[in-house]
Structures are given as structure tokens and as C-alpha cells.
């Protein structure tokens, strides 16, 4: 007998796990499917940082997400460790200095606690950071970090506890439809599930899964990497993350040591439509050389990083969008087909809010205003040419933190 659920979520990473949990909370029967184990691909390899000061469209999402992270146990009954130790953003270049002032102004306008700080204060907050070259800095005390696998794992636990159905090693290989829209999915091996709502939350595989329904997804997977160190004297988990704007790098406490990651100038891109079913993030080649180059550019800022023993080089595939904004909502051409992707390297920390809003839309058929800017169909035919899509996605990736960040400060 074929099973039936109100909705089927494809992909049990951060975005799928949050959506499945919130759909269950909306009263739906839900199956959460993953081609491998839950929380096994990009999500557990993230840095786990949140930054609430974003452009005027993403900030409300980032702020709701942090509020939900801080109230996670109250909401779901499952404990989650979140460090609310704030973040520091550092300008070393003249152009970036002006942006720091502008961001402080914008934060005030929006009631977000964030202030310009002195080098002395910055060093007190993060003793492993030498701010001597800083032209200007802000500190946002409410920003958070967490160990990345903890969040989606906690959502899966809450989903299971609430009666949600989790299927591992269930790769979706077909999406069924008729004139009325989506009718169900089929998994490798032949298992079928009937449903009127299919949510594609397949991370870097989203274009592969969308193609099963003749849908195009305007994102490109880009590799992003970081490394962690063993213990360093003076580091503890109450200290903030530090972002250096001109090198597009971030550093934060990690289990008594530090974590260092950054946006490469010439990142590796991958098209999973041509990789084949054996591709997995765990076996994706990593390359420490670009991180070493970035580290050399901030060696005065983080002297202990250069000499500390490395613990792990970590990387995953993030999903970049030409305008730097999420892809969340109903996906053409089928009724009942939904997408939650286009993370732009920020999908872990925002997953509580994005999953919450999307689930509400699916369950009530009313689009939350907050999701209006993230319509997955908004580009029309503009990026059907795959070379221009890839180029635009890489541009989004390589302009992070700067005043040229795609979508920075703009309101449509
Ligand atoms: C090094 C690094 C640092 C990062 N730092 C941050 C950060 O500080 N803050 C932040 O917010 N974000 C960060 N990110 C981004 C964050 O990791 C992503 O936005 C987030 O993990 C995206 O989650 P996802 O659910 O879309 O993808 P994934 O976690 O990859 O999950 C997708 C799932 O879909 C499954 N799947 C694929 N195809 C199928 C199929 N056909 N059938 C069934 N299942 C399928 C896969 O097996 C996988 O489990 C970072 C990423 C990296 C790599």
C-alpha cells in the first residue's frame, strides 16, 4: 500500500529539518527524507555563526532566527547550546571604515544593539585579537554561534518526538504530478509516497531534485572552507567572533581553540547534475592553501592562529544566488512544489526563521510578507544560461562583507 503524508521534505540538513519540524507544528503529517544519514552533508560542517545586521530584507529573518535559537528548548523541548557572545566587525581599509559607520547608523535606526568600539574594548572582549590595524569596528553583543550539527539534529529530534516520520537512505528519484500539481515522490528502490506538497531542501543537490519536476533553480554550489585548532591559552567560549572585512575572514572560539574561515577569491564551484549519485560532501576534495593565504593577511590580527596546531580542515557546498538572497517559496511550474535553498553561506543560522515562515505558508496557503523578497521564480528566464548563473553566483560569494556585497543595504 502506498503511504500518504500531507507534505514530504526532501533533505534533512538545516533547512529541511527546520521546515519539517515547523510543518508538524502546523498540524501536518510529514515525512522527512534524506538520501544518506540525517545532518550529514553541508550543515554539520558550517561555522555556526549568526549576524543580525544584514540588508533590510534579510535582517528580519536573521533576528527572528536568533530569537528562536535562544528560546529553542522552550519551543521544542529539546536542549540546544547557543553561545550569545556577540560579534565584532573590523574595517582596516578606508572604504570599509565608512561602511562600519553606515552600519552603526542603520543598526540604530532598526533598534538593533550594535555600537562602534575602541581597540581597547575589542582586545578585552577577544584577547587573541590584536586590533592595532583597525580603522573602525563595531560590536553586536546579541550575535551568536553554535556547533553547527547541533541545530538540525535538535530539530530532527523534536520532529521525531512529535510523531514526524524520518527516512534515511531514501533518495528521491522521481516527483509525480498530474494536472492538479504534485502527487508524490518515488525513492531509489521503488518506495512511493503520495503527497500534495513536496519541499525541496536538498542543499547543493536542489537543482538535481528540481529537475525531476522540470523546474530550474537559480543557484550555484560553491565550496566554502574553514579550519579549527587545538587549545590556545586565553580562548574561551564567552568571547565573540571577529570578522575582518577586507580579507572576508572570520575567527571564533572553538572548543578551547579557534576556528578560522574565509571567502576565497577564486572559489571552487561544483555542478552536482554532472557529479553522479556517489558524490558526498565527506569525500569532496578540500584545499588548505587558500585559507593559508588568507591567514597570512591577518597574521598580525591573530598571532596565535599561525602557530596553533590544526585540528580539522572542514568544507561544504554552499548555494549562491545572483542577488545574494534566499530562494524560499512556491516553485514553478507545479502547484505543491516548494523550495528552501539559496543559502548564500547563511542558511544554518537562519533556518529556524525560514522553516517557520515556509511551513506556515504551506499549511495555510498564505504567503508571509517576510518571504516576499525570496520568491524562487523572481529571476524569470534571466539565469537560464548556466555560465552567467555560475558567474553571478560566484560574484555574490566573492563580495561578502564589503560595501559591494550583492544586495547590501538595498530595499526593493
Ligand atoms: C565552511 C562553512 C561555513 C559556514 N558557515 C555558516 C555560518 O557561520 N552560518 C550560517 O548560517 N551558515 C553557514 N554556512 C552555510 C550553511 O552550512 C548552509 O547554509 C546550510 O547548511 C544549508 O543547509 P541545507 O539544508 O540547504 O543543506 P545540507 O545540509 O547539505 O542538506 C541537504 C540534504 O539534502 C539531501 N539530499 C540531496 N538530494 C537528495 C535526494 N534526491 N533525496 C533525498 N535527500 C537528498 C542531502 O543528503 C543532504 O543531507 C557555512 C557553510 C560552510 C560549508
Asked if the model's pLDDT at residue 272 lies above 90, the reply is yes
Taking only the tens place, the pLDDT of each residue in 208-263 is 999 999 999 999 999 999 999 999 999 999 999 999 999 999 999 999 999 999 99
**Of how many residues is the chain composed?**
412
Predicted local confidence at residue 411, as pLDDT:
36
Domains 3-66+148-220+322-397 and 83-144+223-315 alike in fold: no
| Residue 406: predicted pLDDT | 62
Of the pLDDT bands very low, low, confident and very high (cuts 50, 70, 90), residue 339 is: very high
Averaged pLDDT, 382-406? 90
At 17-56, the pLDDT tens digits run 999 999 999 999 999 999 999 999 999 999 999 999 999 9
Report pLDDT digits (tens) over 76-108: 999 999 999 999 999 999 989 999 999 999 999
pLDDT recorded at residue 412: 32
CATH of domain 83-144+223-315: 3.30.9.10
Task: Report residues whose beta carbon is within 6 angstroms of any ligand 1 atom.
Answer: 10-16, 33-36, 40-43, 45-49, 171-172, 201-203, 205, 209, 224-226, 261, 314-316, 318, 341, 343, 345-350
- Which of 318, 319, 326, 341 should be mutated for ligand 1, with most atoms under 8 A from CB? 318
Mutate to test the pocket of ligand 1, among 341, 345, 355 (most ligand atoms within 8 A of CB): 345
Ligand 1 centroid from CA 132, angstroms = 36
CATH architecture of residue range(s) 3-66+148-220+322-397 = 3-Layer(bba) Sandwich (3.50)
Q: 233 burial class (0-12, 13-18, 19+ CB within 10 angstroms)?
A: exposed
Nearest to 359 by CA among 371, 347, 348, 349: 371
pLDDT at 48: 98
Residue 358 has pLDDT above 60, yes or no: yes
182 Cβ neighbours under 8 A, 6+ residues apart: 175, 176, 195, 196, 197, 198, 213, 334, 335, 336, 337
Taking residues 319-324, what's their average pLDDT?
A: 97
- For residue 407, name the pLDDT band (cuts at 50, 70, 90): low
The answer to whether the Cα torsion of 348, 340, 58, 269 is positive or negative is positive
Instruction: Measure 45 CA to ligand 1 centroid, in angstroms.
Output: 8
The structural domains of the chain, with segments of one domain joined by +, span: 3-66+148-220+322-397, 83-144+223-315
Mean pLDDT over residues 66-81, rounded? 98
Q: What is the pLDDT of residue 184?
A: 98
Give residue for cell 543595504.
Answer: 409
- Residue 408 pLDDT: 53
Amino acid at each position: 500500500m502506498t503511504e500518504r503524508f500531507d507534505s514530504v521534505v526532501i533533505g534533512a540538513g538545516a533547512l529541511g529539518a527546520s521546515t519539517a519540524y515547523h510543518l508538524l507544528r502546523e498540524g501536518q503529517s510529514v515525512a522527512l527524507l534524506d538520501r544518506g544519514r540525517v545532518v550529514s552533508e553541508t550543515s554539520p560542517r558550517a561555522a555556526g555563526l549568526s549576524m543580525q545586521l544584514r540588508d533590510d530584507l534579510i535582517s528580519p529573518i536573521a533576528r527572528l532566527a536568533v530569537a528562536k535559537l535562544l528560546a529553542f528548548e522552550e519551543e521544542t523541548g529539546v536542549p540546544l547550546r547557543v553561545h550569545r557572545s556577540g560579534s565584532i566587525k573590523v574595517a582596516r581599509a578606508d572604504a570599509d571604515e565608512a561602511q562600519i559607520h553606515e552600519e552603526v547608523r542603520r543598526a540604530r535606526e532598526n533598534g538593533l544593539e550594535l555600537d562602534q568600539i575602541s581597540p581597547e574594548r575589542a582586545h578585552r572582549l577577544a584577547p587573541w585579537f590584536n586590533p592595532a590595524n583597525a580603522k573602525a569596528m563595531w560590536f553586536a553583543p546579541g550575535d551568536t554561534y553554535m556547533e553547527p550539527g547541533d541545530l538540525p539534529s535538535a530539530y530532527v529530534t523534536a520532529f521525531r518526538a512529535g510523531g514526524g516520520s524520518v527516512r534515511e537512505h531514501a533518495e528521491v528519484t522521481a516527483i509525480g504530478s498530474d494536472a492538479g500539481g504534485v502527487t508524490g515522490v518515488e525513492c531509489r528502490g521503488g518506495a512511493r509516497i503520495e503527497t500534495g506538497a513536496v519541499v525541496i531542501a536538498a542543499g547543493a543537490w536542489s537543482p538535481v531534485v528540481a529537475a525531476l519536476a522540470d523546474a530550474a533553480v537559480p543557484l550555484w554550489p560553491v565550496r566554502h572552507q574553514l579550519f579549527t585548532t587545538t587549545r590556545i591559552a586565553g580562548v574561551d567560549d564567552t568571547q565573540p567572533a571577529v570578522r575582518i572585512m577586507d580579507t572576508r575572514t572570520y575567527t571564533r572560539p572553538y572548543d578551547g581553540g579557534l576556528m578560522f574561515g574565509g571567502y576565497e577569491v577564486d572559489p571552487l564551484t561544483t555542478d552536482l547534475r554532472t557529479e553522479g549519485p556517489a558524490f558526498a560532501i565527506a569525500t569532496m576534495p578540500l584545499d588548505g592553501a587558500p585559507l593559508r593565504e588568507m591567514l597570512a593577511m591577518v597574521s598580525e590580527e591573530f598571532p596565535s592562529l599561525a602557530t596553533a596546531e590544526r585540528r580539522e580542515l572542514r568544507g561544504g557546498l554552499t548555494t549562491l544566488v545572483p542577488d545574494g538572497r534566499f530562494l524560499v517559496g512556491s516553485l514553478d511550474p507545479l502547484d505543491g512544489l516548494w523550495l528552501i535553498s539559496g543559502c548564500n553561506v547563511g542558511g544554518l543560522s537562519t533556518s529556524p526563521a525560514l522553516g517557520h515562515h515556509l511551513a506556515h505558508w504551506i499549511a495555510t496557503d498564505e504567503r508571509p510578507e517576510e518571504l516576499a523578497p525570496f520568491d524562487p521564480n523572481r529571476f524569470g528566464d534571466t539565469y537560464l544560461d548556466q555560465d552567467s548563473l555560475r558567474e553571478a553566483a560566484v560574484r555574490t560569494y566573492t563580495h561578502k562583507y564589503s560595501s559591494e556585497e550583492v544586495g547590501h543595504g538595498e530595499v526593493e
